[in-house]
Structure formats: C-alpha cells, structure tokens
Amino acid sequence: MDAERPKLIDAHLHLQDEAFSKDIGEVIARAADAGVDRMVCCGTCEDDWPLVMNLARCERRIIPCFGLHPWHIGNRGEAWMSKLRRYLEGTPSGVGEIGLDKYREDLDERAQEKIFRLQLAVARELDRPVTIHCLRAWDWLMRVLRSEEIPRAGVLLHAFGGPPELVPALADLGAYFSFAGDVLDEKRHRKRRALAAVPPERLLFETDAPDFLPPERFCVVRPADAPGGKMRNEPANLRGILRGAAELMGEGEEELALRLRENSRRLWGGLML
Ligand SMILES: [Zn+2]
C-alpha cells in the first residue's frame, strides 16, 4: 500500500540541528516509512554548512541549501561569501536559509539587507532556488524583492507568516509559499487565511523540524525531548501535516500530495539527484 502513496517532500527543515545528532539514521528511516521522499535541509551559518553537506552526501533524500540566516550574521567570518560560494558550487544545492528579520531587535538592519542582497545575487548567478525567512519584516522584504531581479530558479517563503493580503503581490513576483504544522492549529486564523489565498501551483508544506511541532493529533511520531527543554519535531510528521492540510482545504489527500509534488519539482527538480 505504502509504495502507492504519492511521495512527499518536506520543503524546509534542519536535520543538522543538534536535536538530531544522536539518532539521525532513525529519523530519516521513519521519514522514509512515512513516505517522505525528499527533505530540503537548510544551513544557517558557516558552522553548520559542513554538516549539511555531509548529510546530503550520505543520504540522497536530502536536498541541501546553504545560506547565512539573519540571526547569524553577527558571527560571520571575513571570507563567508567565498566559503558560501564554494559550498554552493560543490554540490547541487539551493541558497537558504536567508532573509530579513525585525522580530529580533539585536540585529543590524543595514547588514541584514546587504547580506540578503548579496545572497540573492549569488543565487541569480548560479541559477539556484532560494529559501527565505521573513519575520515581521514584510514591507521591507517587498521593497527589497521589488528592487531586485528575482532569481529565475524561484524563491520560497518558508513557514509563511505574512499578511494574507500580501500573497497575490508575492505570487506575482513568482514566490512559492510553504506552511508548517502550526497552520493546523485552529487559533492560527491569519495563517489559515494566508493558506487559502495561495495559488494552488505555488503551495508547499514543511515540518521546519526540529521546530514547529504540529498539533498532537497530526503527529505521526511521538515527539522526543530536544535540547533546551523543547519537544522535537521530525520529518515523518509531514505525513500528518498533509492529512490535516487536506482536511482543512477540503481536498483529497492523494490529490493534494500529487499537486505538492509537481510544485516541488518545479522549484527543486534541478537539484534532485
Ligand atoms: Zn528554518
């Protein structure tokens, strides 16, 4: 039966996180059992790029992305850009996770924008898809994206939390949108309205593991303890997220999975070995 289910693609997660350091093999095996065939694993800083590269070399289900996340710009080394380029050129990979963040107040905004624009430029040059993080910075993001040429390979707004009203303008720029399991939480009205506004051919889902645990009834795997007293999410839960999303959207699970698969192929097909 399982072999007949359409395979799923986890559009965003961080398998290099220390929460997975002890049992990554089991985590990946459980994802495979749940029909999660590909996982887009995003680096966030110079320290975790080698881990992401290693994971992708050992496991063909992992699509690697390399990028400097706005939370980590303060720790960048002088040669960060040439290092990033080396990782990107070293394997079929996307650019991410990069972006703009006003949620945290300790981040230098000028540096954020400069670093974001540099990484968009490298994505254009190498023709790679981009994964974008945006927190409380939607006007700013729109301004930057409108003043840049959008990388042809596409951009994904991961764990989309922007205003639903902004979805059409972002879709016009060519953006894809992915939602994590928290959209299944009944209290997340704004996220649910945004989900409903996304054009069908631009929609994706993600676990953002180890974060963003879906509501309990959609968890395929019992959450494990993670460092920092948090509960760990993992990619197998994408199966439960799909079930919940299909229910929420009034669509068949299989039909939705097939559409998500086509969307993923359009965005990441060039990186699937
Ligand atoms: Zn992330």
- pLDDT, one tens digit per residue, over 113-148 is 999 999 999 999 999 999 999 999 999 999 999 999
Rounded Cα distance between 169 and 189, Å, is 20
- pLDDT for residue 230: 77
CA of 4 relative to ligand 1 center, distance in Å? 30
- pLDDT value, residue 3: 53
For ligand 1, the distance from its centroid to the CA atom of residue 1, given in whole angstroms, is 32
Find the 211 Cα to ligand 1 centroid distance in Å.
Answer: 8
Total number of domains in the chain: 1
**Ligand 1 centroid to 13 CA: how many Å?**
6
Residue 256 is classified by DSSP as H
At 28, the pLDDT band (50, 70, 90 cuts) reads: very high
Rounded distance from Cα 159 to ligand 1 centre (Å): 8
pLDDT tens-digit map of 2-26: 557 889 999 999 999 999 999 999 9
Residue range of the domain that includes 112: 2-271
Check pLDDT > 60 for residue 271.
yes
Across the range 162-183, mean pLDDT stands at 97
What proportion of the chain, given as a percentage, has pLDDT over 90?
Answer: 89
- Measured in angstroms, how far is the CA atom of residue 245 from the centroid of ligand 1? 20
- In this predicted model, what pLDDT tens digit does every residue of 37-58 receive, in sequence order? 999 999 999 999 999 999 999 9
User: What mean pLDDT is reported for the chain?
Assistant: 95
Kindly tell me if the per-residue pLDDT of 273 is higher than 70.
no
Q: From ligand 1's centre to the CA of 118, what distance in Å? A: 20
pLDDT mean over 154-180: 97
122 C-alpha to ligand 1 centroid (Å): 20
How close is the Cα of 97 to the center of ligand 1, in Å?
A: 7
Starting at the edge strand found earlier in the chain, the sheet holding 203-205 runs 8-13, 36-42, 62-66, 94-101, 130-135, 155-157, 175-179, 203-205
* pLDDT value for 272: 83
Tell me the CATH number at 20: 3.20.20.140
Per-residue confidence (pLDDT) for residue 222, from 0 to 100: 78
Q: Is the per-residue pLDDT at 229 higher than 90?
A: no
| Residue 98 contacts residue 119 (beta carbons within 8 Å) | yes
For residue 244, the tally of other CB atoms under 10 A from its CB is 20
